[in-house]
Structure 1
Amino acid sequence: MKSIAALQAVVTATPFDGEPSNTELDAIELEMPLILAEVDLLDAEIMTLDRPATELDERRVRRARQRVLAERRDLTNRVVAMWTGGVA
C-alpha cells in the first residue's frame, strides 16, 4: 500500500485557519443590509406558517419583500459604482 502523505502537502499547501480573510469580511459588510432585509423577510414569512395570514401579516411580508428588492438594487448599484470607479 502506497502512502499519500507526501502528496497531501501539495494538495493542502495553504492550510485553512478557520477565519475569513479581510476581503471576505469586506464583502460581508457590503452585503449586510441585504442580509438583514432577507432575515426580516424570513421572519415575516415564518410568522404566517402556523396560522392563517391576516391583513397585517400580508402587509408585513409585502413590505419585507419590497425592502429586499430595494437592498438588492442598492447593492448592485454600489458594486457597479465600485467597479467603474464611481462613474455609472
Structure 2
Amino acid sequence: MSIIYLSAVADEEPSAADLAGIELEWPLIAAELDLLDAQIAYHNAGPSPSVLDRRRVRRAERRVLAVSRELADHNADSEVVA
C-alpha cells in the first residue's frame, strides 16, 4: 500500500478562477446528487421497486445528460480558436 504525503498548504484559498469553475459546474454536481438520491431510493425499495422509483431514476439520468450537454456546449463555445 502506498502512502501519499501531502505538503502543508498554508493560507491558500481557491482562486477566483477556481470558484468560477465550481460555480459553472454546480448544476451538474446538483444533478448528479439528485441521481444518486434516486438510485439509493430505488435500491432501498427492496425486491420490488415501484414504477415511480424507476421513473425518478430515469428522470434524474436525463437531467444529468442534459446538464452535461449544456456544460459541454458552453465549454466548446468558450474555447479560443488559435
* TM-score, scaled relative to structure 1: 0.73
Identity of paired residues, percent?
47
Which residue is 1:60 aligned to? 56
Of the structure 1 ranges 17-26 and 34-43, higher mean CA displacement relative to structure 2 is found in 17-26
Determine helix, strand or coil for the equivalent of 1:44.
helix
How many residues align structurally? 72
Where does 1:3-14 land on structure 2 (aligned, <5 Å)?
Answer: none
- Structure 2: unaligned runs, 5 residues or longer: 1-6
Name which of 24, 27, 42 aligns with 2:21: 27
Structure with the greater relative contact order (CA < 8 A, sep ≥ 6): 1 or 2?
2
TM-score when scaled to structure 2? 0.78
Instruction: Report the Cα offset of residue 17 of structure 1.
Output: 2.1
Question: Equivalents in 2 of 1:29, 1:23: separation in Å?
Answer: 10
